[in-house]
């Protein structure tokens, strides 16, 4: 099975390190599809049910989403922990770092600003 590489020194992102035939590759995609469906269904179920303690729902949804992203990365994009994937994983790690800085930082700063902001009616009084 040729993906344009021979000995697996490096692997292009998206390329699969293949030992088996086409059947095994399709099975890999089917596994990913099954896991993704399971996680998506759980997300929608958790969001709409009363069976789960309510304050835990946002956390559960975030965890399920991150798990599903992992499933997509492994089974569809073939980003693995193998030695032939080091460059791809490092690039991904840097991307994830920036994403967390942007989202986490924005939420943190804005929550702080909201918290420290004077209520609007007091502010109007001071203007007089």
- Residues lying near other proteins in the complex (CB under 8 A) are found at 1-7, 9-15, 22, 25-26, 29-30, 32-33, 36-37, 40, 43-44, 47-48, 57-58, 61-62, 64-65, 68-69, 72-73, 76-77, 87-88, 91-92, 94-95, 98-99, 102-103, 105-107, 110
CB neighbour list of residue 36: distance below 8 Å, 6 or more residues apart? 68, 71, 72, 75
- Least distance from other proteins to the Cβ atom of residue 117, Å: 13
DSSP H helical ranges for the chain:
22-48, 57-75, 86-116, 120-127
- Least distance from other proteins to the Cβ atom of residue 74, Å: 11
**Vertex 62 angle, CA 60 and 65, to 5°:** 110
């Amino acid at each position: 099975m040729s993906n344009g590489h021979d000995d697996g020194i490096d692997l292009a992102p998206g390329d699969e390190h293949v030992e088996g035939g086409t059947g095994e590759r399709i099975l890999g995609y089917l596994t990913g599809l099954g896991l993704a469906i399971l996680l998506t269904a759980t997300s929608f179920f958790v969001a709409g049910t009363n069976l789960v303690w309510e304050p835990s729902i946002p956390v559960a949804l975030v965890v399920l989403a991150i798990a599903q992203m992992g499933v997509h990365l492994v089974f569809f994009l073939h980003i693995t922990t193998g030695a032939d994937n080091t460059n791809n994983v490092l690039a991904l790690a840097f991307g994830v770092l920036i994403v967390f800085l942007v989202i986490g930082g924005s939420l943190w700063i804005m929550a702080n600003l909201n918290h420290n902001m004077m209520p609007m009616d007091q502010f109007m009084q001071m203007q007089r």
